[in-house]
Amino acid sequence: MSQNRKSRAAATGLIVVAAMAGAYLLGRSDERDGRPLSLVNPAHAADAPQKISPVRERARDFYAPNSEDLRPDEMRLVACGTGMPTARPKQAASCWLLELGNGAKFLFDVGTGSNERIAAMQIPYNFLDKVFLSHLHTDHFGDLDALFVSGALAGRQRPLRVWGPSGEIPERGTKYALDHLVKALTWDLDGRMGLTDPRGYHMEVTEFDYKGVNEVVYQENGVTIRSFPAIHSLDGPVSFVVEWNGLKFVFGGDTYPNKWYAEHAKDADVAIHECFIAVPDMIEKFKFTPQSALAVGTQIHTAPEAFGKMMSIIQPRMAIAYHFFNDFDTTPAINQRIRTTYDGPLSLAEDYMVWNITKDDIRVRLAKVDEAVWPPPATDVPQKPDPSQRIPYSDMIAGGRYDMKSVIQPTYDEINEKYGTNEKQE
């Protein structure tokens, strides 16, 4: 018998033995009357003692939003988007939520599809008012409009603050992009005037020089955030370093390995750096030509081997690789290639992965989220809308209203009685 046939036979034998053992345990009879014993409820056995199943809190192997206090000396990082420009149900595009023990919260990139992951964390939107953009590809800011509008609608009663790099020319900078984004939302924003709390429908943009090397771009509440240049597609992309309470977090955005990252990310507690899908899989899965796969996968983005080499240079407590589709048939090749140049602590990121970071420990888990989540309660009292700010329908459109006053009036009566208001139908 060949070695392969022997192995298969042995494996088959183990399966058969296991199956027979299972059948014996599940189907064996009591010696006295032939009745089957129940393994689900041992109390069914004639002489089995009655046992009560304990219902007690146990330590979780996963993170459940709103289930854990963040210690005063602790960071919590949540991956709200780890994938590629083509967002998919399993992975949104780039988005990272950083929570600090002092209450501060920051979003680094808000890529396509990430807004629903942010919502799943059940954080009141007034605390999600600070966004740092690494660059202006849509897979890094494509859901900013959704966060801007839906966040205001769901309880962010203050402007959305956004920090982002300049460009080589003004038209390639963050301010130009977001000024025009707000203009693109003219119909949306005008249609909400006089109907909802107006305070959140404003954006405050801070544009900083993309050429600044380790320059401070934010400093509040004991938190310092610096930026340095990245190399990706055009002049303009940056990476960020967050320093707080003796901890150091680095977000690389998209970038080819560069000397600034090697210097300023050194000895980080947690270092995120893009790690693109392996070139052979780009050709096979994305149907790139070999020429495009090599150019995009190794020059515009960071190849897994290059990611590993950069991590070996900076020696973080935890290296995080992202910007690839994390699948059973592609991730092993990425891991193998990284391990040719790096043998340290490593996370291959997927959406809803969570890192709790202290000076003594880094704990890595996945979050379990409620897909039917509603927005959490607002932290401020909502401001009553001013009906005089509403933009009226044209006479032609207003004239198309069907008279529903009689069927709607009971709702007005109910609400007026319950809340002490005196609202009237239009």
Closest residue by Cα to residue 58 from 50, 67, 46: 67
Indicate whether 397 and 358 sit together in one domain: no
Q: Which of 23-37, 49-63, 155-169, 233-247 is predicted least confidently?
A: 23-37
pLDDT digits 0-9 by tens, 322-366? 999 999 999 999 999 999 999 999 999 999 999 999 999 999 999
* pTM of the complete model beyond 0.75: yes
Q: How far is CA 379 from CA 71, 125, 396, in A?
A: 21, 8, 41
Q: In what order do the strands lie in the sheet with 130-132?
A: 203-208, 160-165, 130-132, 105-110, 95-100, 75-81, 353-357, 362-366
Tokens read off for 1:
């018998």
% of the chain at pLDDT higher than 90: 81
Whole-number pLDDT of residue 4: 43
422 phi, psi to nearest 5 deg? -140, 50
Please give the mean pLDDT across all residues of the chain: 89
Whole-number pLDDT of residue 51: 74
Q: How many CB atoms lie within 10 A of CB 236?
A: 22
pLDDT band for position 37 (cuts 50, 70, 90): very low
Q: What is the maximum alpha-carbon separation in the chain?
A: 90
Indicate whether 413 and 293 sit together in one domain: no
d(CA 19, CA 199): 65
Q: Is residue 302 part of a domain?
A: yes
Tokens read off for 161:
């603050």
Q: Does residue 2 carry a pLDDT above 50? A: no
Closest residue by Cα to residue 45 from 54, 37, 53, 56: 37
Chosen domain end from 351, 366, 381? 366
Indicate whether 356 and 398 sit together in one domain: no
pLDDT digits 0-9 by tens, 147-170? 999 999 999 999 999 999 999 999
Indicate whether 327 and 407 sit together in one domain: no
Per-residue buried b or exposed e for 23-43, using 16+ beta carbons within 10 Å of the residue's own CB: eeeeeeeeeeeeeebeeeeee
End-to-end Cα distance, the chain = 88
Whole-number pLDDT of residue 54: 72
Contact (CB, 8 A) for 78 and 96: yes
Q: How far is CA 47 from CA 33, 36, 50, 147, 259, in A?
A: 13, 13, 9, 61, 73
Q: Does residue 28 carry a pLDDT above 60? A: no
| Chain-centroid distance, C-alpha 266 | 25
Contact (CB, 8 A) for 250 and 269: no
Q: Is residue 113 part of a domain?
A: yes
Q: Does residue 12 carry a pLDDT above 60? A: no
3-state DSSP call for residue 405? helix
Enclosing domain of residue 401: 393-419
pLDDT band for position 139 (cuts 50, 70, 90): very high
Indicate whether 298 and 412 sit together in one domain: no
Whole-number pLDDT of residue 335: 97
Q: Is residue 25 part of a domain?
A: no
Q: How far is CA 191 from CA 186, 323, 411, in A?
A: 8, 36, 23
d(CA 296, CA 278): 11
Q: Is residue 45 part of a domain?
A: no
Q: Does residue 19 carry a pLDDT above 60? A: no
pLDDT band for position 46 (cuts 50, 70, 90): low
Closest residue by Cα to residue 114 from 149, 137, 147, 65: 147
Contact (CB, 8 A) for 264 and 226: yes
Exposed, middle or buried by CB within 10 Å (0-12, 13-18, 19+), for 134?
buried
Indicate whether 266 and 411 sit together in one domain: no
Cα radius of gyration rounded to whole Å, the chain: 28
Q: Does residue 132 carry a pLDDT above 70? A: yes
d(CA 47, CA 24): 19
Q: Is residue 13 part of a domain?
A: no
Indicate whether 337 and 397 sit together in one domain: no
Which DSSP helix (H) or strand (E) runs through 97? strand 95-100
Complete DSSP assignment for 270-286: EEEEE-PPPHHHHHHHS
Over residues 211-223, the mean pLDDT reads 98
How many domains would you assign to the chain? 2
Over residues 105-130, the mean pLDDT reads 97
Indicate whether 303 and 411 sit together in one domain: no
d(CA 288, CA 286): 5
d(CA 283, CA 278): 9
Q: Is residue 32 part of a domain?
A: no
Q: Is residue 37 part of a domain?
A: no
Which DSSP helix (H) or strand (E) runs through 158? none
Tokens read off for 330:
């592609």
Q: Among the residues of 64-137, which ranges form H helices?
A: 115-120
Whole-number pLDDT of residue 14: 37
Over residues 377-397, the mean pLDDT reads 92
Indicate whether 215 and 323 sit together in one domain: yes
Whole-number pLDDT of residue 52: 73
Q: Does residue 209 carry a pLDDT above 60? A: yes
